[in-house]
Structure 1
Amino acid sequence: MKSYGLIGKSLKHSFSPSYFKDKFKHEHITADYELIEVENPANLRSVDFQKYSGLNVTIPFKSQIIALLDSLSNEAIEIGAVNTIKINEGQLIGHNTDWVGFKESIEPLLNGSDQNALIFGTGGASKAVSFALDKLDISFELVSRNMKPGIMHYDSLTPNKLAKYDILINTTPVGTKHGKDDILPIHYEALQPHMLVFDLVYNPPKTELLMRAKNAGCRIKNGHEMLEKQAEAAWEIWNQ
């Protein structure tokens, strides 16, 4: 029986196990899917990669895992993050399907006036989103809580600046704690009805960000469909 798994740190609320177990059941596939919890990057070397036919990688190891791989797809090289590993004749090959999931999920919502985007966060998911926006010919800027060259800080994101964007995308874990205080530090009064607000968080289905965006008349989307599409893309890679 083939085995697949997910490498990450805190995985008890992960989407992937139930998704793949349902897939295996409905498509009569004899396989299992395991959670592989790792506390820190140093412990990644203890993972028995060769017992699996394919692996997913999630926060916070999408970049750190690269050092342990034998090769990367062109997309993974450009993005600088890996969320899918194919094990082929003992070789560990890193891929990124996050960008595929995001692109296929957001594309039907776009209209001709969606020209620029603001991405909250600078981690592995942000890199995949940036790559997808490049493919869609949508310009973008990044926002971070930390001072970084060429990246906007939340303190400098005035209401007037925020209002000029067509698309807002949250790639951070903010919103997963199900509370009104678990929210991005932005000027919500600047949200405009023309905006598309996409939150990669999928649990809860409507974060505080999405609820406030909906109240402002924005188009909204959470990350559930993106996860499904990136998972299907990973499955295709494992079975090529």
Structure 2
Amino acid sequence: MIINNDTILMGVIGNPIGHTLSPLMHNRAIERLGLNYVYLPFEVAPERLGDAVAAVRALNLRGINVTVPFKEAVIPYLDDISAEARACGAVNLIKNEHGRLTGYNTDGKGFRASLVDEGVSYIKRALFIGAGGAARSLAYELAISGVNRMDFLDIYLDKAQDIARFVGQFHNCVATGHGMSEELFSDLSQEADLIINCTPMGMFPHVESVPVSSLHKVSHNTVVYDLVYNPFTTRFIAMARARHLKTINGLSMLVHQGALALEILTGAKPPIGFMKEVVLNYYKKQ
């Protein structure tokens, strides 16, 4: 990759940001496509979020991905948001078009594509651990695809209830928000077809943490999905595998949502298979 006066800047903002594999994945894809772009990570203090968004205009970045904890908080700083981002109330991508910033959300479609990749088709009841921006995007996608029951657990009851009200707008989808507790998780997990960890628990460098301490009541037909992709096998995923449950980590969603974002920003068709290979090779070397 040669950086020159015509190189176009892109990036990702979040806090923390040290875990992200997006720069590796995107820069290798950019090189593969022969594009004159570079993709950089930016750790942003929460109180400087407005400054960071203003810098996208000031420095003429083509766009940035948005990760935790800014997917909802970034919206007031934008000029417009896509219909999907507006519907789910979260943004994971900002595109800069001549100083006009538009927010998009590729998380939901990336998540659905990852389920297809893993051969998961029948989901009627989903249980979410965490009720932040990522959970909202995924819940929206599941609701419009026909899932008719969702439960949300969060340490902040009001957040869980808020996302449940949002999902409840969709026809034939019953949603309930709960305060997080191990006992309630155990009870709800018995009926879930899909359990999704939408919290950062277990993410590098805090690899020993888990969102729940036990999966002993989870049905053997349940799919356990952890959005965390670094490390490749979280303790939560390891717990599910010990019970011989089907598991999916966040790698596939990372690749699919990233590919959609790259296409929005550059107009080029992303090499999805190559992007997944890049990330898998990274893990093989660890």
TM norm structure 1 = 0.92
1:17 is aligned, of 20, 23, 27, to: 23
Q: Write the letter of the residue equivalent to 1:20.
A: H
- The answer to whether residue 168 in structure 2 is matched with residue 141 in structure 1 is no
Q: Secondary structure at the match of 1:105?
A: helix
Q: Which residue of 2 aligns with 1:100?
A: 109
Change (3 A) 1:160 1:39: closer
Q: Which residue of 2 aligns with 1:49?
A: 56
Bigger shift: residues 132-141 or 14-23: 132-141
1:61 is aligned, of 67, 70, 74, to: 70
Cα distance between partner residues in 1 of 2:88 and 2:18: 27
Q: Which residue of 1 aligns with 2:218?
A: 191
Question: RMSD of the TM alignment (CA)?
Answer: 1.7
| CA displacement at 1:36 relative to structure 2 | 2.1
Residues 192-212 of structure 1, C-alpha deviation per residue, up to 9 Å, x if partnerless?
210100100011111111111
Consecutive unaligned residues of structure 1, counting only runs of 5 or more, are none
Cα distance between partner residues in 2 of 1:34 and 1:158: 38
Cα distance between partner residues in 2 of 1:237 and 1:39: 26
Cα distance between partner residues in 2 of 1:72 and 1:41: 22
Q: Secondary structure at the match of 2:96?
A: strand
| CA displacement at 1:104 relative to structure 2 | 0.6
**Count of matched residue positions in the alignment of Structure 1 and Structure 2:** 237
Cα distance between partner residues in 2 of 1:222 and 1:43: 29
TM norm structure 2 = 0.78
| CA displacement at 1:14 relative to structure 2 | 1.1
| CA displacement at 1:158 relative to structure 2 | 5.4
Residues 117-140 of structure 1, C-alpha deviation per residue, up to 9 Å, x if partnerless?
101101011011101111221131
Task: For 1:82-231, list aligned pairs within 5 A.
Answer: 82-108=91-117, 109-112=119-122, 114-138=123-147, 139-148=149-158, 149=161, 150-155=176-181, 157=184, 159-176=186-203, 177-179=206-208, 182-185=209-212, 187-231=214-258
Q: Which residue of 2 aligns with 1:27?
A: 33
Consecutive unaligned residues of structure 2, counting only runs of 5 or more, are 1-6, 162-175, 268-286
Q: Write the letter of the residue equivalent to 1:66.
A: I
Change (3 A) 1:17 1:151: same
Q: Which residue of 2 aligns with 1:233?
A: 260
